[in-house]
């Protein structure tokens, strides 16, 4: 793979060309729309074999028909551990896992496993999937973050929002903080185990996707959709940080986002992390909680 240094915000090139990926296999969760779809399109166009991991097979088949190269549709609901295990059991060698699927602003609900839905979808399901697939990975895991993590507060004694009044955006911000803590702790464990695998992360800034459509709030969904269209980037450009983190030769625990003001728009560069996202003790405790909740442990 071409090797570039970690980008500096003072001089950011307009990176948009994914290097050749022939002979490499990617799994992209949430690949039927938005960032996941555009990342899958670019990867397949660069010669990769791409597994579209989607909840709705019919929708996945429709979008797959319009993608170039070699793509395969497989059903995965990351909010359901039974689905996660079945999906992982059905795969053999994978080079790169892109943990992209997510929800934002959804009303309070619990999954079939009894978890709060936002945490289950954005963190716990991907935590389980990653650890189940680690023995079959050859290159890296990409974790999807968000600027929202800067406002996130993670209560490890009430991850399920049982004692607090549920707030959809706060739940989302907490789940995104969990993603970055997972990124850091995963890389720490890989390094300690002597593994050559790496964990990287990315966030899309302000990108026009349909992620707010599942909120159940028509006003919030409209503002989220049209606000991002007016002030944000098209999905193809919003996918660039993910593609950079997935294909370029950057160190483990690199976190990529848009270079512009507030990391809202722009071209891929290193992104800011909240102090809480750099807390190794919080990362360790979250990992232990996640193992207990999912029943899945670090396998290396």
* pLDDT tens digit sequence for 265-292: 999 999 999 999 999 999 999 999 999 9
Average pLDDT over residues 131-138: 98
How far apart CA 122 and CA 191 sit, in angstroms, is 24
Written as one string, the DSSP assignment of 62-95 is HHHTTS-SEEEEEE--TT-HHHHHHHHHT---EE
The band of 4, judged by pLDDT with boundaries at 50, 70 and 90, is very low
Nearest to 252 by CA among 175, 205, 192, 173: 192
The band of 6, judged by pLDDT with boundaries at 50, 70 and 90, is very low
How far apart CA 201 and CA 277 sit, in angstroms, is 12
Percent of the chain at pLDDT exceeding 70: 88
Identify the residue with better confidence: 208 or 109. Answer: 109
Q: Estimate to the nearest angstrom the gap between the alpha carbon of 96 and the chain centroid.
A: 12
Q: Say which DSSP state 32 is in.
A: T
Helices and strands per DSSP (H, E), number in the chain: 10, 8
Q: Say which DSSP state 267 is in.
A: S
Helix (H, G, I), strand (E, B) or coil at 183: helix
Q: Which residue's entry shows tokens 């697939």?
A: 133
* pLDDT tens digit sequence for 234-270: 999 999 999 999 999 999 999 999 999 999 999 999 9
Show which residues are catalytic.
Answer: 172
């Amino acid at each position: 793979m071409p090797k570039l240094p970690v980008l500096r915000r003072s001089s950011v090139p307009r990176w948009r060309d994914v290097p050749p990926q022939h002979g490499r296999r990617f799994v992209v969760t949430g690949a039927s729309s938005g960032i996941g779809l555009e990342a899958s399109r670019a990867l397949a166009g660069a010669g990769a074999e791409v597994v579209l991991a989607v909840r709705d097979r019919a929708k996945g088949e429709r979008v797959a028909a319009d993608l170039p190269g070699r793509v395969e549709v497989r059903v995965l609901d990351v909010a359901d551990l039974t689905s996660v295990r079945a999906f992982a059991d059905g795969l053999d060698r994978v080079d790169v896992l892109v943990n992209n699927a997510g929800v934002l602003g959804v009303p309070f609900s619990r999954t079939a496993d009894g978890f709060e839905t936002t945490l289950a979808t954005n963190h716990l399901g991907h935590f389980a999937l990653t650890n189940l697939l680690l023995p079959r990975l050859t290159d890296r895991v990409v974790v999807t973050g968000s600027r929202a993590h800067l406002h996130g507060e993670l209560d490890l004694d009430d991850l399920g929002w049982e004692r607090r009044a549920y707030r959809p955006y706060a739940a989302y911000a907490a789940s995104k903080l969990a993603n970055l803590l997972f990124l850091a702790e995963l890389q720490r464990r890989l390094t300690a185990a002597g593994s050559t695998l790496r964990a990287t992360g990315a966030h899309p800034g302000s990108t026009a996707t349909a992620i707010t459509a599942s909120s159940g709030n028509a006003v919030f969904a409209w503002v989220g959709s049209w606000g991002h269209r007016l002030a944000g980037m098209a999905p193809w450009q919003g996918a660039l940080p993910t593609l950079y983190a997935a294909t370029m030769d950057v160190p483990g625990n690199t976190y990529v986002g848009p270079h512009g003001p507030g990391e809202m728009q722009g071209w891929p560069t290193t992104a800011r992390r909240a102090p809480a996202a750099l807390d190794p003790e919080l990362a360790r405790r979250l990992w232990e909680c996640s193992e207990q909740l999912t029943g899945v442990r670090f396998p290396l």
